[in-house]
Amino acid sequence: MSTIKTSISKRTWKQNIPLFIMFAPILIFFVIFKYYPMLGLVIAFKNYRFIDGIWGSDWIGFDMFSMIFHNQQLLGIIWNTFMLSGLSIVAGFPVPIILALLVNELRRAWYKRTIQTFVYLPHFLNWVIVGGIVITIFSQGPGTLNQWLDKLFGFTFPFLYNEKSWVTIFIASGIWKDAGWGAIIYLAALSSIDQSLYEAASIDGANKWKQMTRITIPGILPTVFIMLILKIGHLMEVGFDQVYVLQNNTVAEISEVISTFMFKIGIQQAQFSLATAMGLFEGLVGLVLVVTANTIARRFGHGLW
């Protein structure tokens, strides 16, 4: 029996050699650029100095983490990250799904392709460009919107210098940029649904709304759960580019997040130990959130693993 199993495993190995060869560059990439750099996380537990190097620097244990949890400014930065990311997920996660459902209902091929092109296009714009567009529209003096408000109503509003309006603009600009690209995944899931189900539902007298609620949405539900789990895993991550381009000193209390804080103290002030500790904390929270979200999703039969 063991001989038969050995021969089967050898045959399976030989059959999959092309797949292993194809996977090798990906494995090498992750080992070199993802896993090997993780050794540098030890900096979070040391008083790192350039002159001493990583292994020569003094060991300080959890002092940096104690500083994080006993510093009101750092706790505020963590809260800003959680708040902005959470609002972005709540407001932005349903948009690609709704967009995919609407695009999927278009029947004229040329019109469908045109709409898809327009909604995908913002994703390929750099945040510097998108930030420039946002500032051009909403800036206090020469902003397009404020010029209209001044001409029509005789007043202007500091959209980028008011915390509530800044958060709204931040979330809306992120949705505008990424919703079209995110819809691609759901459109791919929609294309895998058996079309005969729609035909049978139509014969039974089901209208478009019933077809969508009974066939379309359940058909993409596994994809929705997977994407939601991945989104929750990035709950403590807010894109550096977007925040850095849009933030200003007036709204610093609400716009300072972990990514911008690590850039300022790590790159500009060379406090590498504190920056690494913040990054490690961010990663551990993300891991806990992914595992928790997946555990909940598994109870509904849609876990990631």
Q: Do 51 and 76 sit in the same domain of this protein?
A: no
Percent of the chain scoring above 90 in pLDDT? 28
Question: Same domain for 6 and 90?
Answer: no
160 with 49, same domain? no
Task: Write down the pLDDT at residue 54.
Answer: 83
In a domain, 283, yes or no: yes
Q: For position 10, what pLDDT does the model report? A: 75
In a domain, 280, yes or no: yes
Indicate the number of domains in the chain.
2
The answer to whether residue 116 sits within a structural domain is yes
Query: Are 55 and 75 within one domain?
Result: no
In terms of domains, do 57 and 72 share one? Answer: no
Strand locations in the chain, DSSP E? Answer: 46-47, 58-59
Do 21 and 122 belong together in one domain? no
- Whether residue 80 sits in one domain with residue 5: no
Task: Of 235, 81, 87, give the one whose Cα is nearest residue 169.
Answer: 87
In a domain, 210, yes or no: yes
Find, among 209, 277, 303, the residue nearest to 69 by Cα.
Answer: 277
Please report whether residue 304 resides in a domain. Answer: no
In a domain, 176, yes or no: yes
Q: pTM for the complete prediction?
A: 0.84
Distance from C-alpha of 240 to C-alpha of 246, rounded to nearest angstrom: 10
Please give the pLDDT value at position 305: 73
Of 21, 38, 61, the residue that ends a domain is 61
**Are 110 and 162 contacting, i.e. CB atoms less than 8 angstroms apart?**
no
Q: Please check whether residue 219 lies inside any domain of the structure.
A: yes
pLDDT 10s digit of each residue in the chain, 305 long?
Answer: 556 556 657 777 888 888 889 989 999 999 999 889 888 889 999 988 888 888 888 899 899 998 888 888 888 998 999 999 999 999 999 999 999 999 988 888 888 888 888 988 999 998 999 999 999 999 887 888 988 988 888 888 999 999 999 999 999 999 999 999 999 999 989 988 888 888 888 888 888 888 888 889 888 998 998 888 888 888 888 878 899 999 988 998 899 998 888 888 888 888 889 889 988 888 888 888 888 888 888 887 777 67
The predicted pLDDT at position 83 comes to 92
CATH number at residue 236: 1.10.3720.10
CA distance linking residue 113 with residue 109, whole number of Å: 6
Q: Whole domain around residue 157: which residue ranges?
A: 68-299
Q: What is the pLDDT of residues 197-212, one digit of tens each?
A: 888 888 888 888 888 8
Is residue 29 located within the same domain as residue 101?
A: no
My answer on whether 42 and 73 are in the same domain is no
